[in-house]
Structure 1
Amino acid sequence: MRAKGLLVFLVLLPMMIPPHVTAIAWIQTLGPSSPLLRSVGLAPEIGTTHPLYSREGVILLLTIQHAPLVFLVVRAALRAQPRELSDAARVAGAAPTRVLRRVILPLLAPSLVAGFALAFVSALKNFGIPALLGIPGRYTTLPVLMWQRMASFGVSILEGVAVIAAIMAGVAVIAVAVTALLQRLGRAALIGPPRPPLGVRLGSARLPVEGALWAFIAVVLVLPLAALLATALVRTYGLPLTAATVTLDNFAEILVRQGVTVRAFANSTVAAGGAALVLAALAVVIGHLVTRTHRVRRGVGRGAEALGDLAYAIPGIVVSIAFILTFLRPLPILGVSLYNTLLIIALAYVTAFLAIAVKPVSAAFAQLDPALDDAARVAGASYGRRMARVFAPLVAPAAASAAILVFLTAYNEITVSALLWSSGNETIGTTIFNYEDGGYTTLAAAMSAVTVAATVLLMLALDRLGRHLPQGAVPWR
């Protein structure tokens, strides 16, 4: 297929768009008041129940949101399969469907299980889509239930909510453990040097296959983003997008006039940026420990890496409840309270997104020659000097990639900050959600459009940086 790099980038883009923005975009795509559908005369009648306000609507959008995760895992596994196995089966006369059934899928089974687990855990902890679609459709998930109880009764109901949070955390941990077991049981050992992946010529089927893929991208990405932009450009939600109704006032309102949105952009930049810098530094230390030959230090590094994976698997709203329980009272001795401050949100980001930072840096350390460390130690360099003069410069691009990935994830998130934000400490995610929940749809759409544009620009910057990074440092490369 042509333009595979662009196709992969576009297929993965929905994963980087915040779930609540995805929900808002699809609400404005298919609803009776959709400016995009009204401008072409295809909108349902006013008063019609929105088709996505249901259990099926929640499941559909969760599928669209998390399908790129499964795609990433399966794509990496397919590229790692030795092409000799498929070539041998084809030389023996096996038809393509038989090669797929008897060779490729059995070898792919552990990766399919991993993809299922990733999708399950990600959907389990998703807050934005079930909140915006499930609440009107009377379909409540556990994260939404915890948020509703905390929003209604405050910290007085914290003990009951903590029980639900513990159940969710337990389910996530069990899912990860069962997945690891199934992968271990289904893994088949492959030997031999790495070879280029199998290439399949589509022949006359290339144009239909390419057309189907571009149509898929148009439906799941272009259409909802176009509806989001159309809503942001009309004076009042429900008007068709015409020359008479188009305006930039909504963008001026959220970027200049509204103090809460300007503050939210600043707060998210500070919290996500601070967490990204801290995690990039921690990732360098952990990545170095993981690749050490000393057994104790390597064990410490792997333990920290495992804790990061565990924290990432646990739903973000559970992490926020844990931080409330920990920092509800002032810190001992210091007497300083972190509750209702921006710092508690940044610290929660550090806990929730450690795994994202460690992966690319660990991949970079794995490619370094251990003799570098030995030579520096023989020359008398201390640990800090070795890190500053030898390792940090070599893994700096991977650390920068890790920082950008963390920033991308934290900048627009809502799951972690949904229970931690307070007046004056709003984030982009909570502000967009509050606008949509309060009926300020055009402002929510304008703010969502700005965050999507910022996300795409950061992804493009990371893509350019990825040309100089080890394989696997940037997910879509």
Structure 2
Amino acid sequence: MKVLGKLCGGEGVTLAAITFVAIALFVFPLGLLARIGLTEGGALSLGPLSEALSSRSVLRALTHSLVTAFFSSALSLVAGTCIALVLGLTDIRWKGSFAFLLLIPMMIPPHVTAIAWIQAMGPSSPILRTLGLAPELGATHPLYSAGGMIFLLGVQHTPLVFLVVLAALRALPREMSDAARIAGATPLYLLRRILLPLLAPTLIAGFALAFVSALGNFGIQALLGIPARYITLPVLIWQRLASFGPSVLTDVAVIAAVLALVSVGIILAQTTLLARSRARLIGPPQPPLHIALGPLRPWTEAGLVLLIVATLVLPITALVATALVSTYGLPLTAETVTFDNFTEILFRQSATARAFLNSTLTAGAAALLIALGCIFLARFMTSPRRPARRLATGLATLAEMTYAIPGLVISIAFILAFIKPLPLIEVSLYNTLGIIFLAYLCAFFAIALKPVSAAYVQLDPALDEAARIAGAPFLMRMRRIFLPLIAPAAASGAILVFLTAYNEVTVSALLWSTGNETIGTTIYNYEDGGYTTLAAAMSSVTVLATIVLMVLLDRLGRRAPPGVIPWRI
């Protein structure tokens, strides 16, 4: 309150409103979850957690989660770092196109990725059957195993590591690298003795990001783990909540608290390691290195093309091929091709039409409101007033921590917070689109904050000072000065939020109800219910929409500050 008291007029009211919303969305639901998982009889206690971990099924699921998250993150770290080094340091051609195509798997929802790979590699794959390469019918699917889950989680999160390492390469000053090259250092020596040590903090951050993302991933773990009987914590939470019972919500909340504590522990460990390993660099960032590959350049470009074919073209082709046959398992030929599945999900099935509408409304509203909130919060993060800046930075840190918490944990927290009718108005948000919308605000706020805060840092403080001297109030300064300058970055952040929320299944898996389906839950239910061709058709439409939105974001990025659009190199 002291901080808000030092601000006058619209500035203080706006910061107070942002703080209230942050407490309502970030602190209150997760606080209820913490109260159930970390208290007993009203006092702080580890009893509920100990009791949960004494269960063999919970302990086994936790072990499975840690194993798959660790090894898939190691795979993502190696692959993502290698790709970033090639695109960020060498003279290969078409860097922007390569980066755009390599990032598409990250934008495609994990459950769609799982469905695409299942249909690409299994005995009923229309592509493999057409080519005569499919395994025998009845053979065990190669992805229905712990190794298959690790592989697919590694593929899904490789772009995350790629983005983190690429951003760090852009920020590295060149003095030491140039001095080493003048002294005759080979590219491999330069990489081993200078670049990788400087990138150590970034590699730690990339591994932690991939680990937390893999830990909370529901779509891949459910679609691969359930057939393989390799149950992880997110899947166990979903199964327990679906079983109902008098104490199921409390039991599930304790398991969710275990998952949240592991995620927060990883983030805290990352922060500690970063503090110890951070290298102090002198001088401003300069253009990145441009190592000439010589005769290796065509081979390197061919390797990237093969990687894109293997991780993007093959699974999407299999997905579309499955959508174009009447029965799953038929080869794709002129006699078997049909568009009935697309007609069914677009024009006949009311659930799919509802899902497209619900996802568009909730994701669109969340994206717009988050972008607006980020414009004001990021402004306070660069405020000349230290108290306001510190409070806004604390709220941003809270949003970052919330983003690191798995989506299923967010779902459980919001069920606890809103299962009862709201005070005064006596209206319950449970089993409505409203609770999904609020969960989106909590889960995805940090996505839009990064590009907006990066854009604010590049603005000249004299703009605000001149407007203050001229007597312009806070809201006028925001409307006439900052909003036009920040709009491209805010729009980019809004599109990123929309892309993430439009296709997600992790947050809404426990929050949806009949009449309030989302695209992600509808696709998952089709696949889980055995309607594979309909799931493939709806997934194909979703992939197309994702690519269209990415192209739109790319066009918009021409006006945005450098670094706002991830794949623009």
- Report the TM range for the smaller structure's normalisation: over 0.9
Partners of 1:434 and 1:193 in 2: CA distance: 51
Partners of 1:265 and 1:193 in 2: CA distance: 47
Q: What displacement does 1:104 show?
A: 1.0
Q: Which amino acid aligns with 1:366?
A: V
Q: Which runs of 4+ in 1 moved over 4 A?
A: none
CA-to-aligned-CA distance 1:341-365 (integer Å, 9 cap, x gap): 0011011000000100111111111
Q: Which amino acid aligns with 2:352?
A: T
Which residues in structure 2 correspond to 1:297-308 (within 5 Å)? Answer: 297-308=388-399
Partners of 1:371 and 1:215 in 2: CA distance: 50
Q: Structure 1 residue aligned with 2:207, among 116, 121, 124?
A: 116
The aligned counterpart of 1:420 is 511
Range with greater deviation from structure 2 (339-348 or 385-394): 385-394
Q: Structure 2 residue aligned with 1:279, among 348, 370, 376?
A: 370
Partners of 2:284 and 2:521 in 1: CA distance: 49
The aligned counterpart of 1:245 is 336
CA-to-aligned-CA distance 1:164-203 (integer Å, 9 cap, x gap): 1111111111111111121121111111233211111111
Cα 1:73–1:171 shift into 2, 3 Å: same
Alignment of 1:394 onto 2:485: yes
Q: Which amino acid aligns with 2:362?
A: A
The aligned counterpart of 1:56 is 147
Which residues in structure 2 correspond to 1:282-431 (within 5 Å)? Answer: 282-431=373-522
Q: Secondary structure at the match of 1:50?
A: coil
Q: Which amino acid aligns with 2:203?
A: L
Which residues in structure 2 correspond to 1:92-111 (within 5 Å)? Answer: 92-111=183-202
CA-to-aligned-CA distance 1:1-53 (integer Å, 9 cap, x gap): 11111001111111000000000000000111111111111111110010000
Partners of 1:449 and 1:47 in 2: CA distance: 26
The aligned counterpart of 2:5 is none
Cα 1:272–1:60 shift into 2, 3 Å: same
The aligned counterpart of 1:31 is 122
Partners of 2:159 and 2:446 in 1: CA distance: 18
Q: Secondary structure at the match of 1:93?
A: coil
Q: Which amino acid aligns with 1:106?
A: P
The aligned counterpart of 2:317 is 226
Q: Structure 1 residue aligned with 2:277, among 183, 186, 200?
A: 186
The aligned counterpart of 2:21 is none
The aligned counterpart of 2:549 is 458
RMSD: 1.0
Q: Secondary structure at the match of 1:136?
A: helix
Q: Structure 2 residue aligned with 1:440, among 508, 522, 531?
A: 531
Q: What displacement does 1:87 show?
A: 2.4
Q: Which amino acid aligns with 1:99?
A: L
Partners of 2:245 and 2:541 in 1: CA distance: 32
Partners of 2:411 and 2:120 in 1: CA distance: 32
The aligned counterpart of 1:153 is 244
Partners of 2:372 and 2:386 in 1: CA distance: 22
Cα 1:155–1:383 shift into 2, 3 Å: farther
Q: Which amino acid aligns with 1:279?
A: I
Partners of 1:251 and 1:176 in 2: CA distance: 43
Partners of 1:3 and 1:38 in 2: CA distance: 34
Contact 2:149 2:224 (8 Å CA) reproduced: yes
Q: Secondary structure at the match of 2:228?
A: coil
Q: Which amino acid aligns with 1:132?
A: L
Q: What displacement does 1:154 show?
A: 6.0
Cα 1:209–1:190 shift into 2, 3 Å: same
Q: Secondary structure at the match of 1:115?
A: helix
State the TM-score, normalized to the length of structure 2: 0.83
Alignment of 1:133 onto 2:224: yes
Q: What displacement does 1:156 show?
A: 4.0
Partners of 1:475 and 1:285 in 2: CA distance: 23
Q: What displacement does 1:310 show?
A: 0.7
Range with greater deviation from structure 2 (151-160 or 450-459): 151-160
Cα 1:117–1:155 shift into 2, 3 Å: farther
State the TM-score, normalized to the length of structure 1: 0.98
The aligned counterpart of 1:15 is 106
Q: What displacement does 1:394 show?
A: 1.5
Cα 1:347–1:233 shift into 2, 3 Å: same
CA-to-aligned-CA distance 1:196-232 (integer Å, 9 cap, x gap): 1111111111111111111011001100000000000
Q: What displacement does 1:471 show?
A: 1.7
Q: Which amino acid aligns with 1:294?
A: R
Contact 2:125 2:322 (8 Å CA) reproduced: yes
Q: Secondary structure at the match of 1:110?
A: helix
Q: Which amino acid aligns with 2:206?
A: G
Partners of 2:408 and 2:246 in 1: CA distance: 14
Q: Secondary structure at the match of 2:387?
A: helix
Alignment of 1:175 onto 2:266: yes
Partners of 1:454 and 1:460 in 2: CA distance: 10
Partners of 1:274 and 1:185 in 2: CA distance: 41
The aligned counterpart of 1:47 is 138
Q: Secondary structure at the match of 1:467?
A: coil
CA-to-aligned-CA distance 1:90-113 (integer Å, 9 cap, x gap): 222333322211111100100100
The aligned counterpart of 1:270 is 361
Partners of 2:297 and 2:459 in 1: CA distance: 41
